[in-house]
Structure 1
Amino acid sequence: MTLAPYACHPETTRGRQFPETVSTFRSPFQRDRDRIIHSSAFRRLKHKTQVFVEHEGDYYRTRLTHTIEVAQVARTIAGHLGLNTDLSEAVALAHDLGHPPFGHTGEDALAELMAPHGGFDHNAQAIRIVTRLERHYAGFDGLNLSWETLEGIAKHNGPVTGDLPYALAEFNVEYDLELHTYASAEAQVAAVADDVAYNHHDLHDGLRAGLFTEDDLMELPVTGPAFEEVDRLYPDLDPYRRRHEALRRVFGAMVEDVIAVAQTRLQTSNPQSPQAIRAMDGPIIRFSKPLYQNLKAIKSFLFHRMYRAPSVVKERQRVTAMVNDLFPLFLDDPASLPPEWRADVARAKNRTDLARVVLDYVAGMTDRFAIQEHERLCQVGQNDRETG
């Protein structure tokens, strides 16, 4: 496929932090994608939550299924716009690697616990994972990804300025990712693909969980017209097929809107290089203003009816307590960390260094492992105290 001039061309990559021989059969961005897929952190996404805690049902999205959906959307949009689909896919596949157990609930808990020690942000943690914590290769820590993929992971949501999370600030000193600029168009595609995927599947998962009904969605923009079209074309359709047909139309409307807006903006601005995209005063890949406003209404609905539903809030409180128990336990007794973490503990010069080691360990846990560790380390002791 012929790439547009504003696409990231593999032959002009800025390279890797640690120079390597170029692959004879894969481009640099294909190699990045493959390393991400084969990483331990990627496999752990299978048992990390999206909205519902991983054990609550086999049909709800996990971080892994969400990530696969994001990658599919990113390839579709990138390919249509003449962008590098491999780079968009690589950024999409890595965009959630830094999420801790229990989704945004776990992130909120760890951010509060880490406030005295440099903070916590899942994008910054993803950079730490792919540059430090994956330890499989003989010549370097991390995955030694290309500059363009690292840039996309760090700032696919836009420039990163102000007080940086320590994990990002620490790496950026060694390898400047130009955090003050926008990312490549490929990374921007991955970011909007993330929005498309979760807007779609949170509606689907919320319906499956019984937190709201199709009738509720008939009252909303975008979803209402989608159900009306399905009812007109397929009267008396089976409820599950009706739901699927309507939500796939919502999905398609978002993708078509992004492509149409991007084509117009690219034609108007006529960028001639990836750097011209980075230097713009706003993202080139985004929803139209009307659709953005409609999606805000849907997100507000989901916030109140799904993310803050009583059953979800109750579970959020339960898992927050688990994180709040586990983190100080390991911080006060680092000998309870697994043997492979002892070298990191030994290198810690102060409590902040130690807190960052503990963070790496806890943030890497899956939902199920965090629950098991909490039962093993905390509830057993509690039971002993109650019976003693």
Structure 2
Amino acid sequence: MSLAPYALPDSLCLGREHPEPHHAYRGPFQRDRDRIIHSTAFRRLMNKTQVLVAQTNDHHRTRLTHTLEVAQIGRTLARAMNLNEDLTEAIALSHDLGHPPFGHAGEMELAECMQNHGGYEHNSHALRVVEVLENRYPGFPGLNLTWEVREAMAHHSKAPSEDMRRFLRAGSPFLEAQLADAVDSLAYDAHDVDDALDLGLIQPGDVEAIPLCALVLEKARERFGVIPPEAYSSTLVRALVDIQVEDLLAQTRDNLKQAKIETILDVRAFPGLLVGPGQRIEALKSGLETFLKERVYQHPKVLRMTYKGRRILRKLFDEFVRIPKLLPERNQQQIPTWGLHRVISDYLAGMTDRFAQTEYLQLFEPFHSV
């Protein structure tokens, strides 16, 4: 498949911080994708919370399943737009590597713990993971990903750190980075509805009152007739994804045409984002997000679990500060280099929900095995 002239081809890759020879049959972004998939941080996403604590049941999403769904949708859209599929996929697979256990509640707690010690933000930490903390290769620290994937990780942040700003000097994000970011939001909303229905946090009657959901369900019933209860959630989510994907594709093509985008330099020079939904779908999507915030993320069951997650992280953080010798020896050895609080933050952020819960029990429950 030939790429569009405004796509970012492999031939324009700026390379890696630590130079490596070209691979015989894999492009630079394919190698990035493979390195991410084989990393420890990627595997840990399997047991990290998306919205609900990862052990609630065996079916709802974790950070890993969400990441795979974003990568799948992103690759499909990249192909439809003649963008670089490998680059889009690598960015999508990397976008949640910096999340701590217990979802956004865990990030909020770590940010408070680190408020006077350099801060904590999951996108900034994701860069730290791929540049420093993953140690799989003898020749360099981190995964030695390409500049482009790391730049996209920096652009994903709403509040980039000083260290991340080195990636933001080239202008607006290239289209593959914009696409991965847009798909993350698209997938997040649709799949949170699915999980909330599956876990009984909301009912079909609640969903029917959301304008975007009502719209896609009406179209689904026109096509299929009566939707069986067992197919309700999957039909809804598929329709939510489809309508947003189709709108994103049409609006982005129109944006590129209206802005007269012909090259990647045009993309970089454009003062804003070119990939995004149209006004109608964006407004409907905003209504869905308001519903999720009020009825799902603030549901008593969710709040109880996030409260416990925050308490676990806070107690562990404070105890490790008080008694650093409780940290594993490997982490203790990093303190002279990174400082005590950053080492503790790295250790906690790398935990899965289950590991953090076990660590808490081992430290604070007197009869739990160590």
* Deviation digits for residues 156-210 of structure 1 (CA, Å, limit 9, x no counterpart): 356x56xx2xxxx3465xxx31257322110111001101111110010011111
Cα 1:334/1:319, change in 2 over 3 Å: same
What's 1:386 paired with?
Answer: none
Per the TM alignment, residue 233 of structure 1 is displaced from its structure 2 partner at its CA by 3.5
1:338 correspondence with 2:324? no
Per the TM alignment, residue 317 of structure 1 is displaced from its structure 2 partner at its CA by 1.1
Is the CA contact (8 Å cut-off) linking 2:155 and 2:168 kept in structure 1?
A: no
User: What residue identity is the alignment partner of 1:24?
Assistant: A
- Separation of aligned partners in 2, 1:346 and 1:333: 16
What's 1:228 paired with?
Answer: 218
- 271-280 or 371-380: which moved more? 271-280
What's 2:129 paired with?
Answer: 129
User: What residue identity is the alignment partner of 1:36?
Assistant: I
Identity %: 40
- 227-236 or 17-26: which moved more? 227-236
Q: In the TM superposition, what are the counterparts of 1:181-192 in structure 2 within 5 Å?
A: 181-192=171-182
- Separation of aligned partners in 2, 1:149 and 1:234: 41
1:246 correspondence with 2:236? yes
- Separation of aligned partners in 1, 2:112 and 2:367: 25
Compute the RMSD of aligned alpha carbons.
Answer: 1.7
What's 1:27 paired with?
Answer: 27
User: What residue identity is the alignment partner of 1:264?
Assistant: D
What's 2:15 paired with?
Answer: 15
> Which structure 2 segments of 5+ residues have no match?
none
**Aligned counterpart in structure 1 of residue 191 of structure 2, from 183, 186, 201:** 201
**Aligned counterpart in structure 1 of residue 353 of structure 2, from 332, 347, 367:** 367
Is the CA contact (8 Å cut-off) linking 1:5 and 1:271 kept in structure 2?
A: no
Per the TM alignment, residue 249 of structure 1 is displaced from its structure 2 partner at its CA by 1.1
What's 2:342 paired with?
Answer: 356
* Deviation digits for residues 219-253 of structure 1 (CA, Å, limit 9, x no counterpart): 11221022223334334432021332232111100
What's 2:366 paired with?
Answer: 380
- Separation of aligned partners in 1, 2:265 and 2:15: 15
Per the TM alignment, residue 366 of structure 1 is displaced from its structure 2 partner at its CA by 0.2
What's 1:385 paired with?
Answer: none
Cα 1:381/1:344, change in 2 over 3 Å: farther
- 288-297 or 373-382: which moved more? 373-382
3-state SS, counterpart of residue 229 of structure 1: helix
**Aligned counterpart in structure 1 of residue 297 of structure 2, from 298, 307, 320:** 307
Per the TM alignment, residue 293 of structure 1 is displaced from its structure 2 partner at its CA by 0.9
Q: In the TM superposition, what are the counterparts of 1:1-388 in structure 2 within 5 Å?
A: 1-156=1-156, 164=161, 169-170=162-163, 176-178=166-168, 181-348=171-338, 353-380=339-366
Cα 1:89/1:110, change in 2 over 3 Å: same
User: What residue identity is the alignment partner of 1:343?
Assistant: Q
Q: Alignment length, in residue pairs?
A: 368
- 331-340 or 299-308: which moved more? 331-340
Q: TM-score scaled to structure 1, two decimals?
A: 0.91
Is the CA contact (8 Å cut-off) linking 2:110 and 2:120 kept in structure 1?
A: yes
> Which structure 1 segments of 5+ residues have no match?
383-388
- 243-252 or 125-134: which moved more? 243-252
Is the CA contact (8 Å cut-off) linking 1:325 and 1:378 kept in structure 2?
A: no
- Separation of aligned partners in 1, 2:168 and 2:216: 41
3-state SS, counterpart of residue 320 of structure 1: helix
- Separation of aligned partners in 1, 2:170 and 2:341: 28
- 299-308 or 333-342: which moved more? 333-342
- Separation of aligned partners in 2, 1:275 and 1:105: 39
- Separation of aligned partners in 2, 1:257 and 1:171: 31
Is the CA contact (8 Å cut-off) linking 1:227 and 1:242 kept in structure 2?
A: no
Is the CA contact (8 Å cut-off) linking 1:135 and 1:142 kept in structure 2?
A: yes
- 235-244 or 114-123: which moved more? 235-244
Is the CA contact (8 Å cut-off) linking 2:154 and 2:164 kept in structure 1?
A: no
User: What residue identity is the alignment partner of 2:193?
Assistant: L
Is the CA contact (8 Å cut-off) linking 1:114 and 1:355 kept in structure 2?
A: yes
Is the CA contact (8 Å cut-off) linking 2:179 and 2:275 kept in structure 1?
A: yes
- 265-274 or 124-133: which moved more? 265-274
User: What residue identity is the alignment partner of 1:238?
Assistant: P
* Deviation digits for residues 272-328 of structure 1 (CA, Å, limit 9, x no counterpart): 332321222111101111111111110010111100001111111111111110011
